[in-house]
Amino acid sequence: MAMAETHFLELAAARRSIRKYKDSPVEREKLDRCLEAARLAPSACNAQPCKFIVLDEPALREKFCAAAFSGAYAACKFAAAAPVIVAVVSETGKFSAWLGNQVQGTNFRLVDIGIAAEHFVLEAAEQGLGTCWLGWFSARGGAKALGLGAGKKIEVLLAVGYPAESPGPRPRKKTGEFSSYNKL
């Protein structure tokens, strides 16, 4: 058990946001493993409130990126060079999860999407892939490019590919600076 824990911590420590990708396709088998990891993620009331749309067909990906990264969103245009873009789309969840949102004042749908997307990116790192989690994009433009209907919203984009860079470690707070036991 300790060995698995060490392996996970090494994976978590090594994972970086990648902004430069090799011009190499990503094998569907690797993407399927990432999707399986996301599928296994827990969600409030087991609502599983999202769908992962994998864009690996070049013409569709280019059309999508042109719509999602235009105008004010051009700062994230680097992601268009990734061979794969994954759009994480929110779907209407279960009533019990919605009720929990109202009572707690927490949007559990977004929490659940975050957990599933993190499972995806960690499995991608395990597969030797680089990812970048993107929140700055035109959700409306992307939805139009994909033909998403009403009630569907792209919440997160994930750029995926083989890294063409090796960013160094990012500074992190020490454990005691962001956590405590039994007191604030």
Give the per-residue pLDDT at 44.
84
Q: Which of 57, 179, 43, 172 is nearest to 119 (CA)?
A: 43
Distance from C-alpha of 68 to C-alpha of 83, rounded to nearest angstrom: 15
Contact status, residue 126 vs residue 12, Cβ threshold 8 Å: no
Tokens 């470690």 found at: 169
Distance from C-alpha of 37 to C-alpha of 166, rounded to nearest angstrom: 24
Give the per-residue pLDDT at 4.
57
Give the per-residue pLDDT at 48.
87
**Per-residue confidence in pLDDT tens, the chain, 184 aa:** 555 556 899 999 889 999 999 999 999 999 999 999 999 999 988 888 899 999 999 999 999 999 999 999 999 999 999 999 999 999 765 565 566 667 777 788 899 999 999 999 999 999 999 999 999 999 999 999 999 988 899 999 999 999 999 988 888 999 999 999 999 8
Pair type for strands 50-55 and 153-161:
unpaired
Give the per-residue pLDDT at 3.
55
- Which tokens go with 183? 């007191």
Q: pTM for the whole thing?
A: 0.90
Distance from C-alpha of 175 to C-alpha of 80, rounded to nearest angstrom: 36
Give the per-residue pLDDT at 169.
84
Give the per-residue pLDDT at 175.
93
Q: Sketch the domain layout of the chain as residue ranges.
A: 18-164
Give the per-residue pLDDT at 101.
63
Give the per-residue pLDDT at 86.
98
Q: Which residues contact 69 (CB under 8 A, 6 or more apart)?
A: 76, 77, 79, 80, 137, 138
CATH class of 18-164: alpha beta
Give the per-residue pLDDT at 96.
59
